[in-house]
Amino acid sequence: MITLESDQQMKELQNNESVIFLFSADWCPDCRVIEPFLPELEEKYTAWKFVYVDRDQFIHICAENDVFGIPSFLAFKDGEEVGRFVSKDRKTKEQIEEFIIKLDQ
């Protein structure tokens, strides 16, 4: 998983990739729970590029995209938002996989 480094990089990824942004933070306990199985999801769903977005570093991007809880996921394809799994609730591997599978339908 790559880590978002700039606003410009986010725009480029949104417009040129099938990308899932993971909004997270180091201090978030629910975010730590999903970390162990994220590499497995990346391997399984290779049609998607996964990008870590540090909520604290990019709080303005969170606000612009109505991401007020973490961990949360936003998916973009061809410059359009195609899915969002946004809430403050803890997410299971199964819930995240269900979200990804629906993106391809």
Long-range contacts of 86-94 (CB under 8 A, 24+ apart): 86/23, 88/30, 89/30, 90/30, 90/33, 91/30, 91/34, 93/34, 93/37, 93/41
Mean model confidence pLDDT for the chain: 94
Q: What is the share, in percent, of the chain residues with pLDDT greater than 90?
A: 92
Annotated active-site residue 31? The verdict is yes
Catalytic position from the list 4, 19, 20, 28: 28
How confident is the model over 48-88, as pLDDT tens digits? Answer: 999 999 999 999 999 999 998 999 999 999 999 999 999 88
- Provide the whole-model pTM: 0.94
pLDDT surpassing 90 at residue 89: no
pLDDT surpassing 80 at residue 40: yes
Average pLDDT over every residue of 78-105 = 92
Query: Quick one: three-class SS letters along 24-53?
Result: ECCCCHHHHHHHHHHHHHHHHCCCCEEEEE
Tell which residue, 13, 98, 103, has the closest CA to residue 51.
13
Conformation bin of residue 66: beta by default, left when phi > 0, alpha when psi is -120 to 50: left
Catalytic position from the list 31, 41, 67, 96: 31
